[in-house]
Structures are given as structure tokens and as C-alpha cells.
A and B are shown apart, each in its own frame.
Chain A
Amino acid sequence: MIEIRIDGKTIRSKPGTTVAAAILNAGTDHFRASVRGGRRGPLCGMGICFECRVKINGAPGQRSCTILVEQGMEIETAANEDSAADSHG
């Protein structure tokens, strides 16, 4: 199992899991805030809709459905109040 942190909480994930799947498995569906502040989560699952963007290891705007979990990854979603402002990126 791979250990990652989602909004400060440690989560264990199977290798080969996408970051989007890991976030959903952790019970969060509020990935990003839309430009008018709406709650958004993944739609297309294949990297084209950009709805699943989150901050990964400090880099904002990463499409979580196209990235596999890696040991020690730090993930921030819009569900984490503090990061909401950055998640537009």
C-alpha cells in the first residue's frame, strides 16, 4: 500500500490508483471550486474536462484523474477550506 495525505489526513491506497480515485475513496467529492465558487468533482475521468483539478505537492491545477498515487504525495482539495482560493489554478 501507498501512503498519501489528502487535506492533511493520511490515506492508504493501492498502487496503480489514480489520485482522483483515492480522493473519492477518502469520501471527498469537492475537488475544486469553480470560478463562481461552485463545488465541482470529476466528470470525464480521462483528463479532458479539468473538473478534477487539485493541488498535488504544492502544484495547483493538477488533473487528478490522470496522475497515479505515489508514496508521500500531498494532496489538497477545495474541500480543505484553506486551499479553496488556490484551487482555481
Chain B
Amino acid sequence: MSGTTITTDILIIGGGPAGMAAAVAASESGRRVTIVDDNPRLGGQIWRAELGKNGSPDANKLLAALAERRIDLINNAQIFGTDRDRSLLAETGAGTITLGYNKLIVATGARERFLAFPGWTLPGVFGAGGLQALVKGGFDVSGKRILVAGTGPLLLVVAEYLRSKGAQIAAIVEQAPVSKIIRFGLGLWNAPAKLAQGLELRSRLAGIPYPKGSWIKSVRKTGEMLTAAISKGGRERQFECEYVACGFHLVPNIELPSLLGCSIVQGFVSVDEYQRSSIPTILAAGEPTGIGGVEAALIEGKIAGFASTDETRKAEALFAKRDRTSRFAESLKATFALRNELLTLAEAETFVCRCEDVTFGVLKDFNSWREAKLQTRCGMGPCQGRVCGAACEFLFKWHVDSVRPPIFPVKLENL
């Protein structure tokens, strides 16, 4: 039932790197800061499960600071809508809570982009980050043969992680052309920490095939195993494996800022240099403002934290550093842009919307996302288009919009 109301100065949605950094920075002002996260644990997709253990030093430092500053944490709370002015609604195990704020920082992170290809709905075909998250949640992949495919630096991170857990990586299949990857590698000289990370990762992954300009075409079930067909230089190669981990870079979680009416430009929350959105009381940090990875998220979170508490000097001191990370974000986007061949993967019978089982063949004749939704229920299932929306944006160049409450399914009594 609805009832509990929590009022805070600075409300932060998302307890990943951006949210944690924002909270620590905002708390320097002495104001009341509250983080709300939909997970049982802090850390976001990248740090969760490793916090406090052998996790990154950045993460542990933030965690210690969060504890010391007595920042309020509300876990397992899913934001699903807005109430009156400057308040959000979250569903928890104990019903709905209303969260009032003076300033809101959106640090909702990103999700993987999935593309539809024949066989992508088979059990055993996971998202790349998805499989990593499942393994972090205790899924034992030791001794399993896994093909990692898609695009983006996440593939390397995931492959290394899976290998460290005892999996055998059949290959890392990257759709970006080798020329772009080399240019991207050279560009990393501007970000030495990342370069070192990248090189170290490559050396640990030595011996694993890493074809570039290569992409997954289909997966089929062959007995107990999966067989993935990979296109490389005009030829097709088959890989037999137990699991496929497949992701095509990331898309931001912008449902909440969209619902709140923040200006969204080309799929991202539009922010000024203080990370303020078009609505003065709402700031955004990390992936919702541009896919830039953990370093960008940390610095943007910090700026947002300071800006939200009017510590403008402290925020301004970080601008130069942030600008360097945004250059990294730009080069990520250019390097891992999706190639046109991926537009031809889906066949007429390939499901695009997994919630409602809507196929590519049915969708291709529509002119807009809204029309397709109304006529086929594509994007109208419980995931509310979070999976098929990005695929349709790529496949049909539709402008995927129209966020409606609740932005997450919620029990009727909590609505």
C-alpha cells in the first residue's frame, strides 16, 4: 500500500559509480542525500557483487565515504512514476514509497543493446553484460565453452571475466572493422589509465581469437550445444559452444528523465556543463548523458553532486577532466558504430519483440514505433520496449519515444 513518504534534499536515482560519486560529493555540503537503487546491492552493473571484496579501489573508497557520510540508502526500490511536483514513486517489498526532493540526480546507467538475429531467443544466448551479471550472481560457468560476440569494449571485459571464472572463450567476435579499432587504440594515448587497462586485458586474453569486422549471423541448437554462424571476410564460420554472450554496446536508461519531461537529444539527456538538464531541479550523470564508461560516470557524478548543492567552484574545477572523458565517449561511439550488414540479420520469422513475440516480418511494414506498437503490441509487454526499442531504432530508424507511467510494471495496489 501507499503511505510512506521520504523527503530529502538531494535524491539520487541509481547506485552505480555516477550515483555513488554524486552522493559523496553532494554530502560535502552537509545536506541530506538519499540514494535509491533497484537492486539489493550498490555498485551498479559494473561494481555490484565485488564491492568490499577485491573490487576496484575507486569503488571501495566511495563505499567507505558513503558509510562515513551517513548517506541514506534505499535498496530494492523500483522507481515507476512521478507524483506531485518534485516527488517520485518507488515500489518496494513493503509497498509504494513517495520520494520528495529539492534536487534530483538521474544516474540510472545503461543497458545493453540487443539486435535480433535468428536464434537470439534461444535459452543459452545471453547478453554479454547479461551473462557477466548472472555469473556475478553465482552462475557457475567453469569448463563451459562460450562465444562472445557483438561490439564494444565490454566484450573484452566480459570475456576476461568469464575466463577468470573458468570458462573457455571460443572467440571474441567484434563487428567494428580492424581499422577503427586501431585508431581507437591509438586514441587511448589520451587516456593512459584506459590504455594500460586495455593492454593488460589484451595480454590476459592472449591466445583467444579476436576477429574484427566479424559478426554473428545466427545461432541454432544442435543437441546439447549451440552452433553460432559467424561472418568473417565474406565467409561463414561455425562455432560450437555451450553459451553465446552477445551485446551490441550500450543504450542509456532514460525512461525516468523522459517521463519527467527533461529534454532528450539523440537519445541522451541533454545537460549543461554543470550536468543540469533542461529542468533546473534535475541533473543527470553517467551513461544517460552519453555512453562514456566508469571514468566519465565518476567525474560527471561528482560534478552533479557539487552542482546540486551549489558548490559551483568545486564543480568547475572538474570540468577539464570531464571534457577529456567526453572525448573518450565520442571515440567509443565512432569506433563501435553498427555496420549496415547487421540490418540484414533478422529474417521474417525472427522475433524482435520478445515479450509479445512479434516478428521482423510483421514489423517491417509499419512506418512508426507508435503505429507498430498499437497494431502489433511490439514494445507493449512487461519490458516496455527496453529490449526491442533499441533494435527497432536501428532496424527501422524509428524514433522510439512515448514513455508512459508506470515506467516499470508495478502491482496494481502500488500504482
Contact = CB atoms under 8 A, between A and B. Distances in A.
Identify the interface centre among B124, B130, B386: most chain A CB within 10 Å of its CB: B130
Contacts of B351: 34, 38
B387 A43 contact: yes
A42 to B, nearest CB: 6
A71 to B, nearest CB: 15
Interface in B376-404: 381-383, 386-387
Interface string B106-147: 000001101000000111111101111111011110000000
The secondary structure that dominates the A interface is: loop
B333 to A, nearest CB: 22
B380 to A, nearest CB: 11
A51 B133 CA distance: 14
B137 A21 contact: yes
B30 to A, nearest CB: 34
Contact of B138 (A14, A50, A53): A14
A25 B137 contact: no
Contacts of B382: 50, 53, 61
A46 B126 contact: no
Interface stretch (B37-45, B287-295, B307-315): B37-45
A49 B383 contact: yes
Interface residues of A, number: 35
Nearest to B357: A36
Contacts of A38: 121, 351, 357
B138 A43 contact: no
Nearest to B255: A48
B163 interface: no
A61 B138 CA distance: 21
Interface in A35-69: 35-36, 38-51, 53, 61, 65-66, 68
B276 interface: no
A86 interface: no
B134 A50 contact: no
Nearest to B129: A45
Interface of B: 38-40, 45, 49, 111-112, 114, 121-127, 129-135, 137-140, 351, 354-357, 381-383, 386-387
Interface of A: 13-14, 16-18, 20-22, 24-25, 29-31, 34-36, 38-51, 53, 61, 65-66, 68
12 contacts: A17-B138, A29-B124, A34-B351, A34-B354, A38-B351, A38-B357, A42-B134, A43-B114, A43-B126, A43-B354, A49-B127, A50-B355
